[in-house]
Structure 1
Amino acid sequence: MKGRDAEDSDDFGFGEASRYAAHLDRGWALLDRGDHAAARTSAEHAAEARPDDPDAAVLLGAVSLAEGNADDGLRWYERAIELDPEYLEPYTAAAQVCLYDLDDPARGLRYCSDALELEVLSPFDRLDLHLVAAECELSLGLLVEPRRRLATLDEEAVLMSTLRLAAQPELLDEFDDQDPDDDKAVAVLYLRRDGDEELDEEERVERIGRALQLAFRLARMRLDLGDAETPTGSLTEILRWYPGEPDAWGLVSEAHFRASRLPEASVAALKTLELDHELPVPDWVPSFALVHRRVVQVVKECPEPIIGALVDIPLTVMVRDAPAPELVMEGVDPRVAVLALAGRPGMLLDGAEETEPPPPQLTGLAVYRRNLARFARDPEQFDQQLRFSVLDELATFVGLPDDARGRLGLPPLGPDPSASLTSAGVVPPSTDEAEGEETGKSKRKRGRRRRSRAPN
């Protein structure tokens, strides 16, 4: 069950507590399987059993969000906060809804600020909140505030100690986990116990996974704020402990690329590609042929004439699982979802008047199934991400202005695309970014670096 353990709240009898917990467990399981209607029914049964308990409201908020109703989801999270103002989860969820779904980062920042005032927060809870708050500040166009916030994070020492000790469990017995002022002791406690109960192996692995994701989010945020050196150091250290983590390799590749260390970036990018290839493609990902048809349909039905007319070129669409290693060695992001391909017309014959090199002409579109699937949990989200990525790539290539991008549901690029891409939109994660040569002038070597914002 997500959120608090139902047994922690005031009980009115074993039978009722068991039924309440069962409704919540069933609701979360159904939501994970994509059965939104059944998940809502279970959540409503839980709310009827205990109308004053916030866990059912949190589940109803998650169901509403999965159904594409962000406003309703936020209302449920606010209801959970009303029921228990000391319960962290609805604050974090509400802040993320405001940031990622409602384009209201100022409101999201207020939820983070309120949550940081709660009396009982673990170092990992505080780090999570500070990262969401920093994303809100960045989305508001602020730079000084998130940089200052990340520069004063006391929780980072605990995070790195946790990851080091998790990779070297033989060291756990060397530290006393009762010293709240010792970073290593706090890390040992996090890896050993939940309150008075010893963690089982599955729970321990889940906590290590959370710590890794926090470290990756911290590295990504620093990259978005223009700091490539600090993430390089921390990620290199993490890779000594977790050499099989593709997300760490992907981020360190990006850090090297931004610091113009191209050979190191290429090596890390190839390692990312290799490790990603070891993961299975989800069963629900459409076939290559079906993805091809959907891409052509997205382009053909685009309301912006300059994009819709591309089907008459005709536009060559290549669907692959991931970019070829040769492209990655040239600097293409190994996790790019869609890449516009272009070539330049031949130059004038000798003796002709010299002119500026002709602009590149679109020759095709490369679409990568595996990378698209990273942003999705089911076929519906895959289709949303496919549409978003195709239109975003083509809109950028042809130079659509911000008002036209808005009509397509795309975030604005602003007057300086290289500066605005990293702050135009987020979802974690992720994830969603832009680096490379000048947009529209030649093949962009890193693909997009902006976290996806596929519309619901």
Structure 2
Amino acid sequence: MSEPIEGFMDRLSAHLDRGWELVTQGDLSGAMASAEQTLELDGESPDAHNLIGYIHAANGNLDMALEHYRQAIDLDEHYLEAMLNAAELLIHPLGSLAEAIRVLDQALESCQTADDIADASVLKVDALLQQGDRAAAAELLLGLPEGPYENEQLDFLIGRAHFELDQIDAATVLIERAAARPDASPDVLYYLGLLRDRQERNGEASLAFLKTRHLDGLLPSPPWSPTHGRFEKIVQAALRALPEGLTQRLEGNLIMVSDLPGLEVVAEGVDPRTPLLLDEMATTAGGEQQRRLFVYQRNIERLIRHPLGLQEDVQEILHRELEAHFNRPKDQPAGTKFSTKRQG
């Protein structure tokens, strides 16, 4: 290889490495500048398009992110990382499940290692489950290569898939192994809580959920997250836009917006990732119940599908969760959780 080509490739690698380093530091503007410098050197660099797609996704610009992932795949049809990034975005938050499965089928044809196969397969299992095809999901999970895997996170991802398929024994082994690591993520501990809840080991479930709530509180907000004051205005506008039947039931109630549920309510059994909590306070002299509606910004943001359409998404989430609360069975106590399943 000639010296000029070596120097050119070194500059490409330096800009890409710097871009990913800045992503890990949370400097998305600086990372984008490095990625764009890479494209200036080589307009057909799939690595640069993959990096730019990742930055756009982190900023909530999902359409641009997907476009750059597609360009990376067009430039290198075996580019596994770009395919997995695109599929993850298509599954959540975009919900384009058929396209995600098509991309993952292409990815599985390019997989070289057991880790690669497992990584692509658990994403496809997620997409199949969201499509309601539990049989196909279970069959795919059954065919995974046996571990151990180099990527320790796969224990959790495969364990979570087993849990969602109600394969509790298999889920227990993998989720417990993932939770035993000192660097276990809040997602791992959340699923440990779900597992213990399913096993009716209530004390252990509460402890896992309290740890989840603590670690969730340490995570940075997404770059597109609005200020507390702006989010309060978004919530107020969304509540005003609810159907009349719901607005009447909330009339006169105290609306409170905070980041996350307090540790004290999580200890009492409230889901640490519930987006809303309607708290029955007291009965007035006229016999009416007075309530406080708590809206949890960080948990709402976890469910947002289109960050650039935040107002519409918040309104949809509030509508769905309040409908579920008011239509709950009469023998189900209020103020614990809004959905029949905890928040994934």
User: Under a length normalisation based on structure 2, what TM-score does the superposition of the two structures give?
Assistant: 0.76
Offset of residue 110 of structure 1: 1.8
Aligned pairs for 1:50-89 (under 5 A) are 50-66=42-58, 70-89=62-81
Amino acid at match of 1:98: L
Residue of structure 1 aligned with 2:121, choices 130, 134, 142: 130
Amino acid at match of 2:324: T
Amino acid at match of 1:368: Y
Quick check: 1:314 aligned with 2:252?
A: yes
- Write the distance in 2 (CA, Å) between the matches of 1:104 and 1:34: 26
- Give the equivalent residue in structure 2 for 1:366: 294
1:342 and 1:442 in contact (8 A); partners too: no
Bigger relative contact order (CA 8 A; separation at least 6): 2
Residue of structure 2 aligned with 1:211, choices 147, 152, 173: 152
Unpaired stretches in structure 2, ≥5 consecutive residues: none
Identity %: 28
Cα gap change, 1:283 to 1:59, in 2 (>3 Å): closer
Quick check: 1:327 aligned with 2:265?
A: yes
When Rg is computed on C-alpha atoms for both structures, the one with the higher figure is 1
- Write the distance in 2 (CA, Å) between the matches of 1:75 and 1:12: 32
- Write the distance in 2 (CA, Å) between the matches of 1:10 and 1:441: 73
1:338 and 1:389 in contact (8 A); partners too: no
1:372 and 1:385 in contact (8 A); partners too: no
Q: Deviations over 1:150-187 (max 9, x none)?
A: 233224x213xxxxxxxxxxxxxxxxxxxxxxxxxxx5
Q: Deviations over 1:373-422 (max 9, x none)?
A: 7679xx989988766644442243345xxxxxxxxxxxxxxxxxxxxxxx
Offset of residue 299 of structure 1: 1.3
Q: Deviations over 1:61-98 (max 9, x none)?
A: 33454565544443432332232222211211222233
Residue of structure 1 aligned with 2:142, choices 130, 146, 151: 151
Quick check: 1:339 aligned with 2:269?
A: no
Q: Deviations over 1:173-232 (max 9, x none)?
A: xxxxxxxxxxxxxx5xxxxxxxxxxxxxxxxxxxxxx623x3333233222222333323
Q: How many residues align?
A: 336
Amino acid at match of 1:443: A
1:339 and 1:393 in contact (8 A); partners too: no
The alignment partner of 2:172 has SS state of: helix
Residue of structure 2 aligned with 1:270, choices 197, 207, 210: 210
- Write the distance in 2 (CA, Å) between the matches of 1:79 and 1:11: 29
The alignment partner of 1:215 has SS state of: helix
Cα root mean square deviation, aligned: 4.2
The alignment partner of 1:226 has SS state of: coil
1:124 and 1:211 in contact (8 A); partners too: no
- Write the distance in 1 (CA, Å) between the matches of 2:235 and 2:68: 36
- Give the equivalent residue in structure 1 for 2:27: 33
User: Under a length normalisation based on structure 1, what TM-score does the superposition of the two structures give?
Assistant: 0.60
1:253 and 1:269 in contact (8 A); partners too: yes
1:281 and 1:370 in contact (8 A); partners too: no
Residue of structure 2 aligned with 1:107, choices 74, 83, 99: 99
Quick check: 1:220 aligned with 2:160?
A: yes
Larger % of helix: which? 2
- Give the equivalent residue in structure 2 for 1:252: 192
Cα gap change, 1:105 to 1:440, in 2 (>3 Å): farther
- Give the equivalent residue in structure 2 for 1:49: 41
